């Protein structure tokens, strides 16, 4: 991997660790999902730094470990913006930087409703070696990953992705449904996908004592996601589908840990994925940056 690629991956990681350890934190009340989104946005002025890993099995090929770093910033109470850097290691092959994404989520309604919509717009600049499986769309299938990294990274993908997130909270449960439409800006048809999620904290009341292992700090659930074909062949034919239990642990120190084993539901899917992630929310990041550049306190 060229040294500049290493720099692109490693510099944000150091920045993240430095920021995470040296900044005031807030207890993040995060959902446990890896693919699905609910309607809750980042609190205004807060920055959440997140690292996620996906280990996947590959039939007739090499298993892989894909990873990404997210910087999620609450610009306002109705707008969250996020920047990602992605990479992957394919065993017995190589490690490559696979691209970046810029994502924005907008909450159009002022108040809570039974179903709460959020609009999602993302630009992706990645290469064909991308394996993070942050979403599954169109006719994405396991055999796409058989191509060697050297060959796959020659393909440059500029993609716009739109999602409609519909999410509800009822008696402590969160139910969410995401519909996805993605368009490679090269001459490719619109591709579609979905993600469904349900989750609930293990306890609804907070404890009167500070605790790390209290049940209200754990959120468990399940998510299901997959492709829905493209404009020319809409449906489940030749698509991959996954079912994944999820567990999140919101630590009082401001860290959140997540883990999720995922299972392919058909022959086009990877048989097994294991995902894990760690994140930390930094309170008042916007004000800190402002002060750094001489803004008023």
Partner 1 sequence: MRAVTAALAACTLFLAASVILAQSRNSDKPPVAVAPKYDPAIYAELQKAPEKARNRINPLQNDPDAVAAGAILFEQHCVECHGNSAQGGKKAPSLHAAEVQGATPGAIFWILTNGVVRKGMPVWSKLPEPQRWQLVRYIKSLGGPVESPASKP
Total Cβ atoms within 10 A of residue 221: 23
- What is the distance between the alpha carbons of residues 176 and 39, in angstroms, rounded to a whole number? 8
Question: What are the respective helix, strand and coil percentages of the chain, to the nearest 5?
Answer: 15, 50, 40
Q: Does 12 sit near partner 1 (CB under 8 A)?
A: yes
Which DSSP category does 90 fall into? E
Q: In 3D, which of 284, 218, 250, 263 has the Cα closest to residue 28?
A: 250
Q: Count residues contacting partner 1 (CB under 8 A)?
A: 66
Dihedral over Cα of 158, 164, 169, 172: its sign = negative
Report the SS3 class of residue 92: coil
- DSSP H or E segment with residue 204: none
Burial class of residue 253 (count of CB atoms within 10 Å of its CB; 0-12, 13-18, 19+): exposed
Q: Does 19 bind partner 1 (CB under 8 A)?
A: no
Q: Does 201 bind partner 1 (CB under 8 A)?
A: yes
Q: How far is the CB of 129 from partner 1 (least distance, A)?
A: 11
By CB under 8 A, name the one of 156, 231, 237, 271 that touches partner 1.
Answer: 156
- The yes or no reply on residue 5 touching partner 1 (CB under 8 A) is yes
**Using CA atoms, how far apart are residues 149 and 94, in angstroms rounded to an integer?**
7
Among 207, 231, 233, 267, indicate the residue that binds partner 1 (CB under 8 A).
207
Instruction: Say which residue the tokens 């924005």 belong to.
Output: 104
- Applying CB under 8 A, among 65, 78, 104, 276 the residue interacting with partner 1 is 78
Q: What six digits make up the tokens of 59?
A: 């039939």
Whether 61 contacts 52, CB under 8 Å: no
Is residue 184 close enough to count as binding partner 1 by CB under 8 A? no
Q: Residue 234 has what DSSP assignment?
A: B
User: Among residues 34 and 73, whose Cβ is nearest to partner 1?
Assistant: 73
**Structure tokens of 265?**
């539901």
Closest to partner 1 by CB, 261 or 284: 284
Interacting residue with partner 1 among 34, 51, 103, 126 (CB under 8 A): 126
Decide if residue 46 touches partner 1 (CB under 8 A): yes
Residue 276 near partner 1 by CB under 8 A: no
Range in contact with partner 1 (rule: CB under 8 A) among 141-149, 187-195, 200-208, 221-229 = 200-208
Could you tell me the smallest distance in angstroms from the CB atom of residue 94 to partner 1? 16
Of 21, 22, 210, 232, the residue at the interface with partner 1 (CB under 8 A) is 210
> Would you tell me which residues interact with partner 1 (CB under 8 A)?
2, 4-5, 8, 12, 24, 26-27, 29, 31, 38-41, 43-47, 71, 73-78, 81, 83, 85, 97, 99-100, 102, 107, 110-112, 125-127, 156, 169, 171-172, 174, 201, 204-210, 216, 252, 283-287, 289-290, 293, 295-297
């Amino acid at each position: 991997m060229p040294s500049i690629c290493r720099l692109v991956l490693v510099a944000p990681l150091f920045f993240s660790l430095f920021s995470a350890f040296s900044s005031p934190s807030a207890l993040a009340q995060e959902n446990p999902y890896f693919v699905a989104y609910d309607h809750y946005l980042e609190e205004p002025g807060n920055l959440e730094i997140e690292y996620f890993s996906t280990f996947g099995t590959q039939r007739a090929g090499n298993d892989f470990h894909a990873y990404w770093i997210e910087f999620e910033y609450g610009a306002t109470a109705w707008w969250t913006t996020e920047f990602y850097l992605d990479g992957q290691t394919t065993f017995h092959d190589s490690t490559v930087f696979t691209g970046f994404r810029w994502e924005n989520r907008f909450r159009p309604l002022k108040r809570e409703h039974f179903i709460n919509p959020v609009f999602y717009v993302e630009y992706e600049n990645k290469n064909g070696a991308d394996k993070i499986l942050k979403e599954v769309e169109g006719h994405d299938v396991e055999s796409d990953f058989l191509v060697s990294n050297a060959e796959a990274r020659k393909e440059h993908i500029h993609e716009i992705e739109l999602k409609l997130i519909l999410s509800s909270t009822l008696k402590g449960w969160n139910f969410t449904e995401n519909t996805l439409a993605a368009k490679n800006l090269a001459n490719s048809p619109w591709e579609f996908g979905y993600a469904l999620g349900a989750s609930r904290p293990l306890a609804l009341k907070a404890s009167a004592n500070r605790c790390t292992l209290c049940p209200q700090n754990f959120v468990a659930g399940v998510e299901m996601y997959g492709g829905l074909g493209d404009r020319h062949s809409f449906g489940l034919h030749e698509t991959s589908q996954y079912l994944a239990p999820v567990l999140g642990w919101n630590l009082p120190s401001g860290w959140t840990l997540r883990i999720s084993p995922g299972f392919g539901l058909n022959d086009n899917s990877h048989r097994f994925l294991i995902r894990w992630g760690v994140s930390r929310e930094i309170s008042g990041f916007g004000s800190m940056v402002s002060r750094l550049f001489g803004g008023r306190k």
